Amino acid sequence: MSKAIRDNVQRVRKTIEAACRRVGRDPAEVSLLLATKTVSVEKIREALAAGEVLLGENRVQELQQKAVALADAPVEWHFIGHLQRNKVRDAVRHASCIHSVDRLRLGNRLHNRLTRENKRMDILVQVNTSYEESKFGVPPEGAVELVTQLARLETLRIRGLMTIGKFGAAEHETREGFRRLRRIRDDIRARNIPGVEMDELSMGMSGDLALAVEEGATIVRVGTAIFGERAYPDSYYWDEGGSR
């Protein structure tokens, strides 16, 4: 077994701790989610051997295959990619939380499925804090309304918000996006909407996780910094060409 992945996990954990220290946060408030798209089951097992348990996939088929292959391991799966309505059934089967709910139609579909299975599920609402065309997510101005609508679907436990930082942006701009997400979270919290918890902020990836932790992230989603560069461009995962 190579040491590289274990070392990378430890380095990322140290980055999180250092960022927490700078702003007086407790590192225990921050969960590390490993973004495992394109990563082999063997490599994922190396990260698990380093003590990690929280994994995230972007595509339902890949989630399903890996969840089956790792059924013997004590892992928790989150779904972090754009979710198409016809994939909801398998997503619900394997994931305990969906980070990417960004429209009511998807919420309704999830609710129907969960109702049929007599289940409840954690969700995060994805917000497009950078206003980039290529990104999924509800625009910041629409977040309160979407959360209010989703809150009526009693199978969905709305735990917080998720965003993807602006690509290739200057630090202050990235930070501003994360702050925007936190302000929306605070605004929604202050409204005390029944059924809405708003404890989680899923933000920060390999390139901007320290900033995200400084700005209040409770879940950082990290792939490259642990598993190395991916073979596919991320546009393959983020922009499915109008498949909403």
Ligand X SMILES: *Cc1c(COP(=O)(O)O)cnc(C)c1O
Residues of this chain that interact with ligand X (CB under 6 A) are 35, 37, 58, 80-81, 164, 205-207, 221-225, 237
Closest CB 204 distance from ligand X, rounded Å:
8
CB of 220 to ligand X, least distance (A): 8
Query: Considering the complex, what minimum distance in angstroms separates the CB of residue 82 from ligand X?
Result: 9
The alpha carbons of the chain give a radius of gyration, in whole angstroms, of: 17
Please, what is the Cα angle at 110 between 209 and 178, to 5 degrees?
20
Write down the least CB distance from residue 229 to ligand X, Å: 8
Please say which residue, 142 or 207, places its beta carbon nearer to ligand X.
207
Residue 131: which region, alpha, beta or left (left: phi > 0; alpha: psi -120 to 50)? Answer: left
- Relative to beta strand 31-35, strand 219-222 is parallel
**8-state DSSP, 4:** H
- How many Cα atoms sit within 13 Å of 181 on the Cβ side? 37
Measured from the CB atom, the residue of 53 and 236 that comes closer to ligand X is: 236
Q: How many other CB atoms are found less than 10 A from the CB of residue 173?
A: 12
The dihedral formed by the CA atoms of 91, 63, 48 and 100, expressed in degrees to the nearest 10: -50
Q: Which is nearer to ligand X, 140 or 165 (CB)?
A: 165
Reading the block at residue 120, the tokens are 């409840």
87 vs 155, beta carbon nearer ligand X: 87
Cβ nearer to ligand X, comparing 35 with 146: 35
Shortest spacing between CB 120 and ligand X, in angstroms: 23
| Alpha carbons 102 and 94: distance in angstroms, whole number | 20
The nearer residue to ligand X, 58 or 155, going by C-beta atoms, is 58
**What value, to the nearest 5°, has the Cα angle with vertex 77 and ends 158 and 46?**
145
Give least dist CB 38 to ligand X, A: 9
Residue facing ligand X at closest CB distance: 223
